[in-house]
A and B are shown apart, each in its own frame.
Chain A
Amino acid sequence: MKLTKLLPWIVGVVALFAALFAAMPQGKVNGFDINGFAKLPILEGGRVKPLDSVARNSLLLIRGKQSVRFEGKTISADQWALDLMFRPEVADRQPVFRIDDPDVLGLIGMKQTSNAYFTFETLAPHIDELEKQAKVAQPIDAKKRTRFQSAVVNLFERVYMYFRLKNTLQLAGTPGLAVQMQAVAAPQAGEMHSALTQLAMFRILPPLAGQKADAWQSVGEDLQAGATGRPLHPGLAPLARIAAAYGVQDATAFNNSVAEFQGIVTSLKPEAMSHANNEITFNRAQPFYLGMVIYVLALLTIFVSWLWKQELLQPTAFALLLVGAIVHTSGLAFRIILQGRPPVTNLYSSAVFVGWGAVVLGIVLERLYKKGFGTAVAAAAGFGSLIVAQHLAEGDTMEMMRAVLDSNFWLATHVVTITIGYSGTFLAGAIAIAYTLWKHIAPDPDPETGKALVGMAYGIICFSLLFSFVGTVLGGIWADQSWGRFWGWDPKENGALFIVLWNAIILHARWSGMARDRGIMTMAIFGNVITSLSWFGVNMLGVGLHSYGFMDSAFYALSTFIGTQLLLMGLCMMPRRFQFTKPSAKA
Chain B
Amino acid sequence: MTNKYLLKAWNFISSFQLTIVSLALLMLLVLFCTLAQVPLGTYGAVNMYMRSFLVWWGPEGSTWIIPVFPGGSLVGLILTLNLLASTFKRLQLTWAKAGLWLVHIGLILLVSAEFVSAALQVDDRMAIEQGQTVNYVENSRSMELAIVDVTDPKSDEVFAVPATLLAKSSTVALPGSPITLNVKHFFPNAELTNRGPMDPPSLATMGVGASVKIEERAVSSNENDLNNTSVFIEPVAAGRSYGVWLASIALGAPQSFTHEGHTYAISIRPTRHYLPYALTLKKFSHDKYPGTDIPKNFSSLVQISNPSKGEARDVLIYMNQPLRYEGRTFYQASFGKGDTLSILQVVENPGWLLPYISCVLVTIGLLVHFAIMLRRSLKRRQEKVS
Contacts and interface: CB of A to CB of B under 8 A. Distances in A.
A466 to B, nearest CB: 5
A462 B23 contact: no
A504 B320 CA distance: 31
B103 to A, nearest CB: 9
Nearest to B318: A403
Contacts of A501: 23, 26-27, 30
Contact of B37 (A45, A477, A543): A543
A504 B367 contact: no
A538 interface: yes
B34 A495 contact: yes
A505 B117 CA distance: 26
A511 B359 contact: no
A486 B42 contact: no
A477 B34 contact: no
A486 B329 CA distance: 12
Contacts of A557: none
Chain A interface mostly helix, strand, loop or mixed?
Answer: helix
Nearest to B24: A505
Given A466-B370, A512-B16, A482 B292 contact: no
A215 B35 CA distance: 45
Interface string A458-470: 0100110110011
B290 A509 contact: no
Nearest to A534: B34
Nearest to B354: A486
A44 B38 contact: no
B320 A406 contact: yes
A578 to B, nearest CB: 28
Given A46-B291, A498-B31, A484 B322 contact: yes
A214 B290 contact: yes
A216 interface: yes
B45 A489 contact: yes
A469 B363 contact: yes
Contact of A488 (B35, B42, B319, B377): B42
A178 to B, nearest CB: 26
B241 to A, nearest CB: 46
A72 to B, nearest CB: 38
B345 A484 contact: yes
A481 interface: yes
A513 B290 CA distance: 59
Contact of B355 (A400, A403, A469, A477): A477
B123 to A, nearest CB: 8
Contacts of B322: 481-484
By secondary structure, the B interface counts as helix
B291 A484 contact: no
A402 B287 CA distance: 11
A487 B20 contact: no
B19 A508 contact: yes
A168 B17 CA distance: 67
Nearest to B286: A403
Given A46-B292, A469-B363, A501-B30, A483 B17 contact: no
A16 B129 CA distance: 60
Residue of A215, A410, A487, A541 most packed against chain B (CB within 10 A): A487
Given A216-B290, A484-B329, A495-B34, A512 B17 contact: yes
Interface in A476-528: 476-478, 480-491, 494-495, 497-498, 501-502, 504-505, 508-509, 511-512, 514
Interface string B338-374: 0000000111010010011011001100110010011
B109 to A, nearest CB: 12
A476 B23 contact: no
Contacts of A481: 320, 322
A535 to B, nearest CB: 14
Contacts of B117: 485-487
A544 B363 CA distance: 27
A483 B295 CA distance: 18
Nearest to A407: B320
A56 interface: no
Contacts of B330: 484
A483 B289 contact: no
B122 to A, nearest CB: 11
B359 A484 contact: no
A469 B330 CA distance: 28
Contacts of B345: 483-484
A400 B37 contact: no
Interface in A128-147: none
A299 interface: no
A404 B320 contact: yes
B33 interface: yes
26 contacts: A45-B292, A214-B290, A216-B290, A400-B289, A402-B295, A403-B295, A403-B319, A404-B319, A406-B296, A459-B377, A469-B363, A470-B366, A473-B362, A473-B363, A482-B322, A482-B331, A483-B331, A484-B322, A486-B117, A487-B355, A498-B27, A498-B30, A505-B27, A512-B16, A512-B19, A543-B41
Given A473-B358, A483-B345, 20 more contacts: A45-B294, A404-B319, A406-B320, A462-B373, A463-B370, A466-B367, A476-B355, A482-B319, A483-B322, A484-B346, A487-B355, A489-B33, A501-B23, A501-B26, A501-B27, A501-B30, A505-B24, A512-B20, A541-B34, A543-B42
Interface of A: 43-47, 203, 214-216, 399-400, 402-404, 406-407, 410, 455, 459, 462-463, 465-466, 469-470, 473-474, 476-478, 480-491, 494-495, 497-498, 501-502, 504-505, 508-509, 511-512, 514, 538, 541-544
Interface of B: 16-17, 19-20, 23-24, 26-27, 30-31, 33-35, 37-38, 41-42, 45-46, 50, 113-114, 117, 121, 123, 288-292, 294-298, 319-322, 324, 329-331, 345-347, 349, 352, 355-356, 358-359, 362-363, 366-367, 370, 373-374, 377
